[in-house]
Amino acid sequence: MKIGSYYRSVAGCEIQVPPPCCVVILGAYGDLARRKLIPALYRLSANKLLPSNFCLLATDGVVMDREHYLTAMGEAVSKSLGVRFHNTSWHRFAEFVDYVSFDYGNLTAYSNMLKKRLMMLEKKHGTGENRVFYLAIPPSVFQSAVVNLGRAGLSDMQDNGFPHIVIEKPFGRDVASSARLDKALSIYFDERQVFRIDHYIAKETVQDMLMFRFANSIFEPLWNREFVDHVQITAAETLGVEHRAAYYEEAGVFRDMFQSHLFELLASCAMEPPVAFESERVRDERTKVFRSIRPFPSVDRLDEFMAIGQYGPGTIDGQHVAGYREEPGISPQSITPTFGALKIFVDNWRWNGVPFYLRSGKRLARTRTSVSIHFKPVPHLMFAGMMDRDIEPNIVVFRVQPDEGISLTFQTKMPGSRACLLEKPVQMNFSYGAPDVLEAYEWVLLDCMVGDQMLFLRKEGVELTWSLLTPLIERIEATTPVDLFPNYSAGSEGPEAARRLIETDGRTWLPLKRQVAEARPGLIQVGGFKRQRA
């Protein structure tokens, strides 16, 4: 990187502004670009976090001119951001955007059309040869796009610039396909040029998990098998497959959510403290967690560690919704799971014997992603003879979405009583109230341009997670009977098998419908009372 960076203050924090660069989005008219990438780049521009020498080359197979593309994207960004969208800021951002349609599978299109247009824009905007290629295209064409970029000479490191490539999950569909994709990447790109993106890691609460643990001496000493009973990681959503039927039929919940999202949340929760808060040191510790996960047992014992489900018809927010097999584009005999739950053990000194329960599903009772640390009960309850109910153990909940924040529950007595507990445990809540906080895709796009890989997945980590999940997925696809599904209603908490998975161990899932107390910075909620800090 030959041109330096500078910093800008946002919400009181210094954020690095990238060096001059050009972002090239392959699949720039697709759903991901409309909902996430273009809104994120627009917000970075509006907050003056993009370099003054910047350009965006949007590419897609859809034939249209630049004006039509900008009109469509302007409408999409306005819909996505609502009141945060401003026409003046959009028109200022649009000056740096160009559009070209071409065939991703055609090498000539890369070496002629794409390369020539890119060089013209780089000269116009003074970005040097600093390039970020973002593959927002179907996973089935990842490998051909990587190869064509390489053969066209667009992956070569230059004296006056860098090429980075960003790949969205899923990174393959099993161990073998992931290895083929990595092999193609390694031929044309060095590992330091490759950014395997999982935007969950960039969410504020996930990043704050490290700060919560390693910057507070009262929590880290308790973060181990001596004090933690179990950990729950949940990624639930009320949505169905929507317009992604073809993709989801091939992927299912384990490829779509577990291989990257849930395993990365597990790693952030379970990792050891890195020597320094640096990209490679943090990624080292995440990878060590994956190395320590106990492989799943043989087929005859797999049900002790796994539950699967597929949603049937039901009710969401008072509206009737169809079952998975009734969705457009889905086979009426489909055995694709839309719900999964796993019990995982991390076999190392810190976590030996502590179960991690992971679950994810579609058409559930509530949209919620969270990581909850459930501590052990007190060893001796001296109040037992004075109370008519049990005392709930302490829980720390990291709310990843939609209401990002952290809550801690603990017990206290009712004011004015001798030994009566409050009706509900005390909840101390923290939520992110600053309107200028960057969202996940804004962070990862900045880091792609800067070249910081801390929030991105390493090749070895992807290999390890696929090696754990591939035998399980193959078993599901080979042995699941058609009449097993559907086994949970849309709008419910999930299948009975998931309840049995955790209750067999004497534990219960946190209910999806439980509402975490609303919070704002500085507000503590105690039972039914709210007290403002002085």
Residue numbers annotated as active site: 261
> In the Cβ-directed half-sphere of 15, how many Cα atoms lie within 13 Å?
22
Identify residue 477 by its one-letter amino acid code: E
Residue 23's CB: how many other CB atoms inside 10 A?
27
CA distance 391 to 377: 8
CA distance 465 to 175: 9
- Whole-angstrom CA distances from 119 to 57, 152, 293 are 11, 13, 46
Minimal CA–CA distance to 138: which of 167, 174, 178, 180?
A: 167
> In residues, how long is the chain?
534
With contact defined as beta carbons under 8 Å apart, do 362 and 517 qualify? no
**Which residues fall within 8 angstroms of residue 196, CB to CB, at 6 or more apart?**
167, 169, 171, 456, 457, 458, 459, 462
> Which residue matches tokens 């997670």?
465
> Which residue matches tokens 């640390």?
373
Question: In the 3-class helix/strand/coil scheme, how is 450-487 assigned residue by residue?
Answer: HCCCCCEECHHHHHHHHHHHHHHHHHHHHHCCHHHCCC
With contact defined as beta carbons under 8 Å apart, do 457 and 196 qualify? yes
Adjacent-strand bridge partners of 398: 371, 406
